Chain A
Amino acid sequence: MAGRGKLIAVLGDEDTVTGFLLGGVGELDKHRRPNFLVVEKETALTEIEEAFRSFLCREDIGIVLINQFIAEMIRHVIDAHTKSLPAVLEIPSKEHPYDASKDSILRRAKGMFTAEDLR
């Protein structure tokens, strides 16, 4: 199965993770290691960061979906990730609508243009 394609990892609130797992992205491998993390109020920041870093290190993951409000908590890790794989997608959550100005990819694109360059 592993050779057929990569997984989609999800890091988000309960509804986001439940929705995408319902869509069929969830996997528990033979070590019962999940490709998702449900972030609740009591979830520690270190746990979130660790889970995100482990998703980035896994070669069987192609896309990481992360709620933008969680991405904000670990922005330094997301900004440091410049590889094309896995792709990190910031998605809205129920209580926090998507804000393009916070998105790492768009901020990088915006940073391309300085007054000096456009002269």
Chain B
Amino acid sequence: MTPAEDIGQAEICEELDRVILHLFDALEMLQTKREAFNSLVEQGWFSLSKSRYAMGNKSVSTLQYGNQMTPLIRIDTSKREDGQTEFQVITEDAFKRKDESTAVVEEIGPSEQVLRRRKGPGKAEDVAQSQNTASQPAEVLGHQDPLNWFGILVPQSLRQAQKTFREGIHLAAEIASIQSEIEATRSYYQSLLEKKRKLVAEKKQCSP
């Protein structure tokens, strides 16, 4: 969207029409995403209810929340020139892959290192040390799958609920971006409208 500084009334009207069309497109997109999001959330609740049925009424409640929580999903925000904010989901899996991409090389080694262990106790200690360092990153990060709050062998429906809510979070980020787009378009439209009003008022004053 270009700032309407030195443009005439006709151009402002055209720009207003263009902005309105853009807004309607955004609203339509928002509605579509909203519907998908709402149905995902509903599906998630249904899966949670099924888990409750399988595990017992009190087994899926606030009481089971972990006493330590580290987010596995975060949101990356970036502001564009037109004032619009974009939201993107960053999942912890991606972090782990990034963090362990260097450690993977070390992890490939153990088959050779196991053979070395037979040769002497000194080398076996080295192996143990290297294994410890390889397993450190995951422990240091302290990430625990929230599924484990509800037990080790959880029903499939709870896994399904987790999957559904994760998809919902991705959609929520998209919806937040569209909402931001709508807000930015709205303020641009209002600034254009103000400009048009001023032009019309000036014209009225000039013409007797």
Q: Considering only CB atoms, which chain B residue lies closest to A6 in the complex?
A: B75
Q: Chain A nearest CB: distance from B48 CB in Å?
A: 6
Q: Chain B nearest CB: distance from A80 CB in Å?
A: 14
Contact with A63, one of B62, B71, B166, B172 (Cβ below 8 angstroms): B172
Mask: chain A, 11-36; 1 = CB below 8 Å from B; 0 = not: 00011111111111111100000110
**Residue A8, interface by CB 8 Å:** yes
Contact A19 B48 (CB under 8 A): yes
Dominant secondary structure of chain B at its interface with chain A: helix
Contact B172 A8 (CB under 8 A): yes
Size category, B interface: 35 or more
Contact A23 B179 (CB under 8 A): no
Return 25 A-B CB contacts under 8 Å, by A number: A4-B74, A4-B95, A5-B90, A6-B75, A6-B77, A8-B73, A14-B62, A18-B62, A19-B164, A21-B65, A21-B146, A22-B48, A22-B158, A23-B162, A24-B71, A24-B145, A27-B71, A34-B69, A35-B71, A62-B75, A89-B179, A91-B37, A105-B182, A109-B23, A117-B193
Known A18-B62, A24-B169, A85-B77; 12 more pairs at CB < 8 Å: A4-B74, A7-B74, A14-B61, A18-B65, A25-B72, A38-B62, A62-B74, A63-B173, A84-B183, A87-B179, A91-B41, A109-B27
Mask: chain A, 43-64; 1 = CB below 8 Å from B; 0 = not: 0000000000000000000110
Dominant secondary structure of chain A at its interface with chain B: mixed
**Residue B136, interface by CB 8 Å:** no
B84-140: which have CB < 8 Å to A? 84-85, 87, 90-92, 95
- Cα–Cα distance between A73 and B67 once the two chains are bound (Å): 29
Chain A residues whose C-beta falls within 8 Å of the C-beta of B87 in the assembled complex: 62-63, 87
Contact B90 A22 (CB under 8 A): no
- Cα–Cα distance between A34 and B31 once the two chains are bound (Å): 31
Chain B residues whose C-beta falls within 8 Å of the C-beta of A35 in the assembled complex: 71
Q: Considering only CB atoms, which chain A residue lies closest to B62 in the complex?
A: A38
B37-63: which have CB < 8 Å to A? 37-38, 41-42, 44-45, 48, 60-62
Contact B161 A22 (CB under 8 A): yes
- Cα–Cα distance between A94 and B176 once the two chains are bound (Å): 21
- Cα–Cα distance between A26 and B71 once the two chains are bound (Å): 5
Contact B169 A89 (CB under 8 A): no
Contact A109 B182 (CB under 8 A): yes
- Cα–Cα distance between A92 and B172 once the two chains are bound (Å): 12
Contact B76 A5 (CB under 8 A): yes
Chain A residues whose C-beta falls within 8 Å of the C-beta of B184 in the assembled complex: 84
Q: Chain A nearest CB: distance from B101 CB in Å?
A: 16
- Cα–Cα distance between A14 and B47 once the two chains are bound (Å): 14
